[in-house]
Amino acid sequence: MGKPYRQKDNYFKKAKQEGLRARSAFKVDEILKRFPVVKKGAAVLDLGAAPGGFLQILADAVGPKGRVFGVDIVRIRPFSQQNVKTEVLDVLADDFDARLEELFPAPYDAVISDMAPKTSGVRNVDEARSLRLVRKALEVATTRGRPGSYFVAKLFMGGEFEEFRAEVRAAYEDVKLVRPEATRGASMEVYVVGLRLKAAPVADGQATP
């Protein structure tokens, strides 16, 4: 049985001390230190970005010449950094893809998702909602990411977890699973990291550019 969640745990306090908007910032910070997901000058898309903890870490990671785009269904408090842009968007809306391309044109060097559904307390329902969001994130990453780009997404482990991991493996050269130290003890969440997006196969009769 996991440790009970204490709102003001060490990571919560540390986030406050360091001026971070959320304790979750330490999760993406650990992932970036373990894998070469984000480099200086990169273009990164952060899905489910509110309140902006991930964005703070990503902005530093890409540097002033990079670009970080954050979207969420709720408004994100503006950033002083010029390399961070945010927008209110619903990833499940019919016009999401068109609006995303208009606001934050691809290709991306990394797509990162911390999206999570509002929990109902019914495990099967919550797992299904989580998978719907993470599959949308994977769709964006594979259609808008440049070859060799990276993918990081949170999901709750459940019945279709292995099926989803296989989908990521089909698109990326390597796949890792990470449970960051800042993850709450009782949480079922895990981060799937896709390393180096495979180039799309060339259709018969088409020349390689």
Compute the CA torsion angle 93, 75, 10, 59 (nearest 10 deg).
90
CB-based contacts of 165-174 (< 8 A; 24+ apart in sequence): 165/192, 167/135, 167/138, 168/138, 168/192, 168/194, 171/138, 171/141, 171/142, 171/197, 171/198, 172/196, 172/197, 172/198, 173/197, 173/198
The residues annotated with a catalytic role in the active site are 154
196 and 174 Cβ atoms separated by less than 8 Å: yes
Pick from 189, 176, 155, 179: nearest CA to 27: 179
Give the three-class secondary structure for 110. strand
Q: Alpha-carbon distance 72 to 87, whole Å?
A: 7
